Amino acid sequence: MRNPLPPLVAVCAAWGVFWGSWSALLPAVKEHLGTSTAGLGLALAATPVGAIPAMALAGRLARGRERGALALCSALFALSVLAVGRVDTPAQLAAALLAVGATSGALDIALNLATGRAERESGRGLFQPVHAAFPVAVIVAAPATGLARDLGAGTTAVLVTAAAIMLAAAATALALPPGRGPAPSGGDGHRRRWTAAVVLGVLAAGVLAVENAVEQWSALLLETHQGASPLLAGAAPAAYMAALTAGRLVVHALPRLPERALYLVAGLGGGGGIALAGLAGTPALSLAGFALTGLALGPVVPAMLSRAAAGDPTGTQVSALSAISYTGFVVSPLLMAALAAWFGLPAALAAIGLLALPLVVLAVASRGPE
């Protein structure tokens, strides 16, 4: 079959381009709308609200129709990005982000299903390199957007560019082989697949909650609590993303690495890394801690998705695992806010590392080489 990796990487990278650009656009969006930080935060909350039901629906509709679903979800996501560029009030932004969240969630499911099917049919490991494309795109797009703003580009121009890149990636998805319709599922096998999906999904949600905490709070930790410059503080999420990418590519290059070892390293290294970052007290040690966190945790969710795809041609496990794991992004901001209010931000970051420790239990409980 034709190599499925380039179109899958193209879609994932284009998806990351928008989210990297979006993070750099938020100050301009806030200024344009004339809203408060709280008002902007309320509007941003519409994204996960739209994503969760869309992920459940996409999981049902995309199974067996992966190529068309991926192309359609990518195109719809691009159109929703265009809509964000036309908002003038916080209410309009919330409505637009509801659509962005819904189409992004559906794209997440379609991409994972398409990657899982391509793995089964090609016999090649694909989840690690495909998922590595997203953080690379974020790392590139965020500073590129900042530079574009410095050169006079407006929010609309940046969003139109991101949408155009996404539409081009949607076209590449058509190079994937067509689907064969959903595989039959039934009885006991269906229940076993759901049980496995729930267990892996909850563990993956913990990993993504830690990831979200680093993305949202790491720069604030360095600048506010350690006296780092804005430039140095901005290196914290970049260090995490770069190490996360490296971890995924290293694991892809070591296909015989046992899953038990992967989970053990992730639980200890991920939890210990973010604890070090939170409690270190110096920017250099915190950066090292965030990098260790990304290196250890980065390969875990793609490995879980690969395992789910290999054991379930119906796609049930992949779609359910994807949707359940997304709750980590929803819970993390609320959990971090509560922990920071009680214990302060450094201790809160260290405490959220406990969410990685169940991976150690999974590693110990696993029997034999995997």
- Does residue 88 lie in a domain region? yes
- Does residue 332 lie in a domain region? yes
Domain count, the chain: 2
pLDDT of residue 145: 87
Q: Could you list the residue range(s) of the whole structural domain that residue 85 is in?
A: 1-179
Burial of 338 (0-12, 13-18, 19+ CB in 10 A): exposed
Nearest CA to 297 among 277, 319, 279, 280?
Answer: 277
Of 73-82, 212-221, 264-273, which gets the smallest average pLDDT? 212-221
- Does residue 101 lie in a domain region? yes
Domain endpoint, select from 112, 145, 179: 179
- Does residue 92 lie in a domain region? yes
- Alpha-carbon distance of 85 to 117, in angstroms, equals 35
* 354 and 319 in a common domain: yes
Domain endpoint, select from 120, 148, 179: 179
- Mean pLDDT to the nearest integer, 136-150: 88
- Give the pLDDT confidence of 195-233 residue by residue, as tens digits: 878 889 999 999 999 998 998 888 888 888 888 887 788
* 198 and 175 in a common domain: no
pLDDT of residue 183: 57
pLDDT of residue 369: 43
- Does residue 274 lie in a domain region? yes
pLDDT band at 151 (very low <50, low <70, confident <90, very high): confident
Looking at the predicted structure, is the pLDDT value of residue 184 above 80? no
pLDDT of residue 270: 95
Nearest CA to 22 among 67, 64, 81, 65?
Answer: 81
- Does residue 370 lie in a domain region? no
- Does residue 163 lie in a domain region? yes
In terms of pTM, does the model score above 0.85? yes
Domain endpoint, select from 179, 204, 239: 179
* 133 and 202 in a common domain: no
* 133 and 16 in a common domain: yes
How far the first Cα of the chain sits from its last, in Å, is 27
Q: Percent of the chain, pLDDT > 70?
A: 95
pLDDT of residue 158: 93
- Does residue 184 lie in a domain region? no
- Give the pLDDT confidence of 295-316 residue by residue, as tens digits: 999 999 999 999 888 878 888 8
Task: Give the CATH number of the domain where residue 256 resides.
Answer: 1.20.1250.20
pLDDT of residue 31: 85
